[in-house]
Each structure stands twice: as C-alpha cells, then as structure tokens.
Structure 1
Amino acid sequence: MSKFNIPGTALITGASTGIGATYADRLARRGHDLILVARDTGRLGALAAKLRGETGVKVDVITADLTNKADLAKVEARLADDASIDILINNAGVALSGAFVDQDLERIESMIQLNIVSVTRLAHAAAKAFAARDRGAIVNISSVVGLAPELQMAVYGATKAYVTYFTQTLRLQLSPNIHLQAVLPGATRTEIWDRSGSGGAESLDPNMLMEVDDLVDSALAGFFQGELVTIPSLPDAGEFAAYDAARAKLLPNLSRSRSAARYKVGEPA
C-alpha cells in the first residue's frame, strides 16, 4: 500500500535539521514539491536551495516558531488553503531532560505547546482539507518513550503518548483514503539531545542509537506497508500487535455499571 504515488506537495515541520530535513530529502527525490517549516531561516534556505538544485522540485519555506500562535496560524492557513498539499509530516518537537520537579515550568509549557498543541492544530487543518478531497496523508512523529514510563521522561513521554493515541483515533474517524501513520523512533542521532540538556547523543549507548537516515528510510518503508504505528527498531511487528491486542482485551471491562468484586472484599454487611 502506498499513498506516495499521488503527485502532492508535502509540508514538513521541523524541517531544517534531523528527521525533518531527511524526510525533505527523501520526498524531494521521489518528486514531491515541498513546503519546509522551521524557525531557522538560514538553514531552511540552504536546504531548500540544495534540494531545488539536486532534484528540480519546487521548495517553499515558511519561517515559523510553532509555539507562537501567530506563526502557527500562518502554517494552519497554508494547509487549509493550498490544495496542492497532500502530505503533512508533523515532525517538529522538543524534549526536556531531568526530573519533573527540577524542570522549568516555562520550558515544560513550551514543550506541550510544540509537541501537542501544534501537532493537533496542524493535523486538524490538514484533516479538514484532506477530507474535502478524500485523499492525503498525515504522518505524526511520536516516540517509543510514550510507551515506556520506566524511562522517566514524565512530560515528554506523556506528549508522545498523546501523539500515538491521537493518530490511532484519527484512523478510526477519517476516510481510508487518508493515510495515518505514527512513527515511534527510539534514540536517534539528532540535535534534540543537545537541546534537551541531556548531554548530547554521544552520551548514549551506541548500540541504542539509530542514525537519522536509517530511521526515516524505515519510517517510509512502514508507510508503504500501510502501517498505522511504525517502530523502526522493533524486529518483530507481532510484539506490538500483541501489546495492542492485550490493550483491546481490556475494553469490555473498562466501563461497567458496578465496581469489580475485588474491591468489595471486607465491605461492611
């Protein structure tokens, strides 16, 4: 299954470096025109010029800080009004290291704004536009951290759990002609480590650190295979399927008219 045979434009957030820039490269080489969104005008311009020269595709740039309401609205409007856009790569995100009680609340709020609010608003604009045309693709970059509270990234992990749940629910609500994918990277060599205050990617176990080219190529392969949830480092897709099946097994008992018998032990007569 592939939705990339449509000749649509891809709008990519967080496109100046790392995962976003790599998506831009791969999609440009597949012939897709691009709209690149990020805060760093210089890097965006350099990447756009490189891709135009190497691939001949049209590349527009939008300088935007997606934690700023006016900038976010500008990108939403482009998604709503530009009928050439068929692909949204919702990639922009940030992490924050350290224990929750030691983290700065302003930085926490900014992370929630970028990782949740901007992802939601951009997906909303794209979904409405794609639904009207009954075609398109929304790829949301999540994280395996959202599956693993043991990693103790309290707010960052919670924002990524949101992104995965959000994507899974959109799949139930939107037309099958609109492809949804949540990509859950593990540790990946990008600048997010330096910006999070964790000491950089070099401080990680190299056996756990994926190169960004491998990550994006795997994510695209998962997209072509029609996956809703892609975990590039997971050797056996059946393991996630079993995890999801165990979750689904809970559903009939999550909301009932009476509490479970195990909570009635020792009740007064």
Structure 2
Amino acid sequence: MSAQSAVLITGASTGIGAVYADRFAKRGHDLVLVARDRERMEALAARLRERDGVNVEILRADLTQRADLLQVEARLADDARIGVLVNNAGASAAGGFLDQSVDDVSRVIDLNTTALARLASAVAPRFAREGRGAIVNIASVVGLAPEFGMSVYGATKAFALFLSQGLHLELGPKGVYVQAVLPAATRTEIWASVGKDVNEIEGVMEVDDLVDAALVGFDRRETVTIPPLPDVQQWNDFDNARRAMMPNFAQSQPASRYR
C-alpha cells in the first residue's frame, strides 16, 4: 500500500481500533475513524494530528443502525483515498445462549457479521478496479473453538474468518489483500460489557502487543494471523487437514458409514 492511502477503522474509539489508528498514523497514513463515541475519537484524533501530522477525520456511526451503516458504506465506495479497511467493530453478549435475549443475539450478529460483510462489500469492487487495497477483518480464536462456550460470538468470528479466506481467493488475484486477525483474550473494554473482570482471566494479551503482531502479519501479507499461537505449524496442519477432506466431498452416494 502507498503511504498516502487513508485507512478507515471501525470501532476506532478505544481498544484494538484505537491502537490500529495509532500505528497507521505513525506510518504516515491519513485516517477515517468510525465509532459511536465522538468524544473519545476527537481526543485520539487530536493526539495523532499533533504527533504525526496526518489528517484524521471522524465519522460518528452506530453500525447496527442502517442509516449510519449506509453512510460508512458510501464513504468506502466513493473515497478513492481510502486504501485500507480495518473491520474491527464488534460486540459480545453476557452469559450463554440461553441467557441471551433474541435482541442480544441479533445485535451481536448485526455488528459482527452484517456490518463487517457490508463494509467489505462496499469497498471491494473499487479495490478490485484499482488493483490494490487491503481489508483487515478482526476475527477471534473463539471462532475455531466452540468449547469456549461463546456460541453466538464464536459463530460470528468463524464467519469473519471464512469470509476473509474466501475473499483472499476471490480478490487476491485482483491485487486486493485480505487478512483475518484472530486474537485470543485481549485487554479491551469488551470484557466489562459482558460483566467479566479481565484481571481474573489467564493469558490476557495487551492491546499494543496484539496489534503490533497483527501488523507484522499484515506486512508479510498473511491471510490468517494468530498472534497468540506459538507454533504456526499447528495452524498449517489444521488448514491442511481441512483441504485434505475437499476431494472426498464430491460423492454421488452417501459414505458407507451411513449405509
């Protein structure tokens, strides 16, 4: 990516999104910050403008609201200065599936999957025409492990991973880079929003470390970046096992074990 391309970051007022903003500003990128909390974004923008001399625009939006989402989609589709989309905005809900209301479930899906896919859909055609661009989708290791007991949140993060892998195959040949980032437990405000004390959780990664690792993967053009995973061969083995099944899916008859 050109150093002059702007980066649009959702969920940019705090946590992972705010650190992405900090790091891309250090690299000389102009920014478009998207979140609900205008006051926090204003403070972040003022600091980055002063420190790095970059242009930082603020787009206050609740991506679960259609009118707000359409506004961000239009900006991505029409603003040729934007060369990177960081799809970071996300939410979870307290408790297990039986504890969550229909509205809780819908809210998590709306933000974590619908908004993420629509924003990628809004910008991908322009990126493909231009033969450049990058889409970063923040997924989670929870999307690989139903054993963590976060059924809806994990399902949305599995969607983010699958979408990223599919877009890599579809858009990569057109010059568009797509990355899925899979954090594990990270010190962000999402824990307070679901009523958990982050200090009581083992193995919590600091946000700065998470984003810095994710950007190493970004610079290497990894399709899937898992910052907490020590042995990349475990992921490679997992992915290879999945690929090894694919030829066996094309069968005209059920497998013998079902007959």
- Same fold per TM (> 0.5)? yes
> Displacement of 1:253 after TM fit?
1.5
> TM (normalized to structure 2)?
0.98
CA distance in 2, matches of 1:104, 1:190: 24
Match of 2:109 among 103, 107, 112: 112
Partner of 1:238: 233
RMSD over aligned CA atoms reads 0.9
Match of 2:255 among 251, 257, 260: 260
1:201 counterpart = 2:198 = yes
Q: Residue 223 of structure 1 aligns to which amino acid in structure 2?
A: F
Match of 2:179 among 172, 178, 181: 181
Deviations 1:169-223 (A, max 9, x none): 00111144211100000000000101122x2311212xx1000000000000011
1:155 counterpart = 2:139 = no
SS at match of 2:135: strand
Partner of 1:190: 188
Q: Residue 243 of structure 1 aligns to which amino acid in structure 2?
A: F
Count of residues in correspondence between the two structures: 258
Partner of 2:9: 12
> Displacement of 1:238 after TM fit?
1.2
CA distance in 2, matches of 1:150, 1:255: 30
Whether the aligned pair in 2 keeps the contact of 1:146 and 1:159 (CA below 8 Å) is: yes
> Displacement of 1:6 after TM fit?
4.2
Partner of 1:267: none
Note the residue ranges of structure 1 that are not aligned, 5 or more in a row.
265-269
SS at match of 2:185: coil
CA distance in 1, matches of 2:102, 2:25: 38
**Equivalent runs, 1:117-132 vs 2, <5 Å:** 117-132=114-129
> Displacement of 1:254 after TM fit?
2.1
Q: Tell me which structure has the larger Cα radius of gyration.
A: 1
CA distance in 2, matches of 1:24, 1:130: 21
Deviations 1:136-192 (A, max 9, x none): 000000000000011010000000000000000001111442111000000000001
Match of 1:168 among 165, 188, 202: 165
Whether the aligned pair in 1 keeps the contact of 2:3 and 2:28 (CA below 8 Å) is: no
Partner of 2:47: 50
Partner of 1:96: 93
Q: Residue 52 of structure 2 aligns to which amino acid in structure 1?
A: T
Whether the aligned pair in 1 keeps the contact of 2:94 and 2:193 (CA below 8 Å) is: no
1:248 counterpart = 2:246 = no
Deviates further, 54-63 or 247-256: 247-256
> TM (normalized to structure 1)?
0.94
Whether the aligned pair in 2 keeps the contact of 1:15 and 1:44 (CA below 8 Å) is: yes
Identity %: 55
CA distance in 2, matches of 1:231, 1:120: 21
Whether the aligned pair in 2 keeps the contact of 1:97 and 1:153 (CA below 8 Å) is: no
CA distance in 2, matches of 1:175, 1:148: 27
Whether the aligned pair in 2 keeps the contact of 1:112 and 1:159 (CA below 8 Å) is: yes
CA distance in 1, matches of 2:96, 2:14: 27
SS at match of 2:94: coil
SS at match of 2:136: strand
Distance 1:243 1:175, change over 3 A: closer
Q: Residue 137 of structure 1 aligns to which amino acid in structure 2?
A: A
Q: Residue 50 of structure 1 aligns to which amino acid in structure 2?
A: R
Partner of 1:220: 215
Note the residue ranges of structure 2 that are not aligned, 5 or more in a row.
none
